[in-house]
Amino acid sequence: MSLVDTAKNVILQNLRFETGETVLIITDDDKKEIADLFYQASKELSDEAVIIKMPTRNKSGEEPPQMISGLMKMADVVLCVTKHSLTHTKARKEASEVGARVATMPGVTMNMLENGAISADYNEVQELTEKYCQILNSGENVKIAKDDYELTFSIKERKSISSTGVFKKPGESGNVPSGESYIAPIEDSANGNIVIDGAVSNIGVLDEPIKLKIESGRLIDATGKNGKKLLELLGDGDGRTIAEFGIGTNKKARLIGNVLEDEKVFGTVHIAFGSNKSFGGVTEAGVHIDCIIKSPDVWIDSQKI
């Protein structure tokens, strides 16, 4: 397929576009060429297709301009084709609350439209994602073990999010491509040390692991040059609070240094720091940074998953 055809397939198959709906494409200076593919595709489907460009945000979780936040609430279908993620923003949450179906594609590349996670069997992705969400919803305590390090935290009475990359109902949202089951841990419950050896959003694939030290839900220290970068991204405030635990469920996803695909890789898990109020937590930090762990051992209560 041509890339416009791929874009059209995303709008039709992932966002379940229906005749007569309005489509809003949000982009920035870095991703405008890719966004234009989706605009060309949406124009073939809808007479009410709009594209709007904003200055590139500085980091994932940073809010878009207020004007764009308002437009998001007015559309039936919203695609965020941007360098940094708008997934965990107040703007995205409010658009979902009024019924918009929102797909976020932070950092998407031309290569990602041609290969990898976007080409997955999304029936399989949906089955795996729902399986792990059921385990998360029935669990209370999580332990992640990697290279003799352990991190524990509570997910008691928190509800998991099924990110299948397919949005059928008003208000549904998530990444495209996708494939993850994730949940907001109890913010002050995480304790221990863990090795991050896969990738980190806004940093990329790691050439050396980062060891994290977490106490009462707060990131206290991160080793090495990439550890220092991570701490700088998160800042000294609420950005260091644990925000997310996620499980990759897309067997076509690759570890490529792009968090949009990295965190979906089957056989990985990720933890994130910063904002999580948009999916069941309490933190609004203006930043959300994911850290991917390859092939860990994970227990939920007494079940090794």
Task: Count the neighbouring beta carbons within 10 Å of the beta carbon of residue 44.
Answer: 12
CB hemisphere CA count around 280 (13 angstroms): 16
Give the bridge partners for 288, in sequence order: 274
Contact 52, 39 (CB under 8 A): no
Nearest-angstrom CA–CA distance, 223 and 201: 17
Hey, what domains does the chain have and what are their CATH numbers?
3-114 (3.40.1830.10), 119-304 (no CATH)
- Mean pLDDT of the chain, nearest integer: 96
The more confidently predicted of residues 273 and 225 is 273
The amino acid occupying position 57 is R
pLDDT of the residue at 122: 87
pLDDT at 113 over 80: yes
Task: Count the neighbouring beta carbons within 10 Å of the beta carbon of residue 277.
Answer: 16
Task: List the alpha helices (DSSP H) in 107-237.
Answer: 110-114, 122-138, 224-234
pLDDT of the residue at 247: 98
pLDDT-based confidence at residue 119 (cuts at 50, 70, 90): confident
Average pLDDT over residues 273-300: 96
pLDDT of the residue at 60: 87
List the one residue out of 201, 276, 207, 194 whose CA is nearest residue 241.
276
Average pLDDT over residues 265-289: 96
**pLDDT tens-place string over residues 149-183:** 999 999 999 999 999 999 999 999 999 999 999 99
Nearest-angstrom CA–CA distance, 40 and 44: 7
224: left (phi over 0), alpha (psi -120 to 50) or beta: left
pLDDT-based confidence at residue 105 (cuts at 50, 70, 90): very high
The more confidently predicted of residues 119 and 144 is 144
Average pLDDT over residues 248-256: 97
3-class DSSP state for residue 226? helix
**pLDDT tens-place string over residues 235-244:** 999 999 999 9
pLDDT of the residue at 134: 98
Share of the chain above pLDDT 90, in %: 92
pLDDT at 57 over 80: yes
> Could you give the C-alpha distances from 191 to 19, 90, 156, 243, 245, in angstroms and in order?
50, 28, 15, 13, 14
pLDDT at 1 over 80: no
Cis peptide before 65 (omega within 30 of 0): no
pLDDT-based confidence at residue 224 (cuts at 50, 70, 90): confident
Instruction: Determine the Cα angle at 185 with ends 239 and 302, to 5°.
Output: 145
Contact 54, 109 (CB under 8 A): no
